[in-house]
Structure 1
Amino acid sequence: MSKATPATRALAAAGVAFTVHTYDYDPDAESIGLQAASALGEDPARVLKTLMALVDGKPVCVVVPSDQEVSMKKLAAAAGGKAAQMMKPPEAERVTGFKVGGISPFGQRKPVWTVIEQSALTHDRVYINGGQRGLQVRLKPDDARGVLKAVVADVIA
């Protein structure tokens, strides 16, 4: 597994301190985020999942704890829109340049509006997908917010 991905290169170029962590990715897991947390031996609240949605038809990246679900209503409001829906996997892969299960908010093909669940910022360090299945980066949540120019909001159901 290569530890150099568009995501890790984007973090390095931004001067963000992070560490890389690998785990055995299970493509059949019911929840990829929860499986990652379990494999890493971490609290699911500190292992964040990256989801792609459409808000009023425009791509939005949303980063939430792996044990939580996104409220589409709250996400639409946080992104300044009226309606939100999850992006279909093939579209998410096309927009981001990453495979589902390895989608990172960092180093996507084109930067998109990003929302981070506010509870994620209560941790000293969090894990976020590093741009490859079975690869996570560990960093300060405020560094993630800064490099992504993300909006911080309550978006969990």
Structure 2
Amino acid sequence: MSKTTRATQALAKAGIAFTTHSYDYDPSVDRIGMAAAEAMGEAPHRVLKTLMAEVDGKPVCVVVPSDREVNMKKLAAAASGKSAAMMKPAAAERLTGYHVGGISPFGQKKLVPTFLEEAALAEPLVYINGGQRGLQVRLAPADAVAVLGAAAMPLVT
């Protein structure tokens, strides 16, 4: 597995301190983020999952703890919209240039508004997908917010 992806290149170019962590990706699991946390021996609230959604038909990226679910009403409000829904996997892959299970908020093909669950800011370090199935990057959540230009808000149920 290559540890150089568009995501890691984007972080390096921005001067963000991070480390990469690999795990055995299992495509058969229902909850990829939870499986990643278990495989790495990390608490699920520190392993963040990257989801692609649409608010009033416009794409957004959402980064939340792997053991939580996005509250669509909160996401719509965060994006100043009326309704939010998950993006279809094929559309998410086309938009980001990453495969489902390897979607990272860093280095996506098209920049979209990004929202991060504010509770993650309480952690000194978090894990976020590194742009490849089975690859995570560990970094300070404030650095993730800064490099993504993300809005940190309450997004989970």
TM-score between both structures, scaled by the size of structure 1: 0.99
CA distance in 2 between counterparts of 1:79 and 1:150 reads 11
Identity %: 68
Alignment-derived partner of residue 101 in structure 1: 101
Q: Which residue of 2 aligns with 1:133?
A: 133
Deviations 1:65-118 (A, max 9, x none): 000000000000001111100000000000000000000000000111000001
Provide the residue aligned with 2:25 in structure 1: 25
Partner residue, 1:67: 67
Equivalent residue, structure 2, for 1:81: 81
> Could you say which residue in structure 1 is the equivalent of 2:122?
122
- 1:49 is matched with which residue? 49
* One-letter code aligned to 1:97: G
* Secondary structure of the corresponding residue to residue 46 of structure 2: coil
Distance, in Å, in 2 between the alignment partners of 1:79 and 1:15 is 28
Aligned-partner residue type, residue 14 of structure 1: A
Pair 1:91-2:91 in alignment: yes
Is the partner of 1:51 in helix, strand or coil? strand
Amino acid at match of 2:23: Y
Q: For 2:105 and 2:43, locate their aligned partners in 1 and report how far apart those are by CA, in whole Å.
A: 20
Equivalent in the alignment of 1:2: 2
User: SS of 1:33's equivalent?
Assistant: helix
Cα separation, 1, equivalents of 2:8 and 2:44: 22
3-state SS of paired residue (2:10): helix
Deviation string, structure 1 residues 122-150 (Cα, Å, up to 9, x no partner):
00000000000000000000000000000
Are residues 1:35 and 2:35 paired?
Answer: yes
3-state DSSP of counterpart to 1:74: helix
The offset of 1:30, in angstroms, is 1.8
Amino acid at match of 1:4: T
1:113 maps onto 2:113 in alignment: yes
- CA distance in 1 between counterparts of 2:39 and 2:124 reads 20
- Unpaired runs of 5+ residues, structure 2, are none
Structure 2 distance, partners of 1:3, 1:77, is: 36
Q: Which runs of 5+ in 1 are unaligned?
A: none
Report the aligned-residue RMSD: 0.4
TM-score by length of 2: 0.99
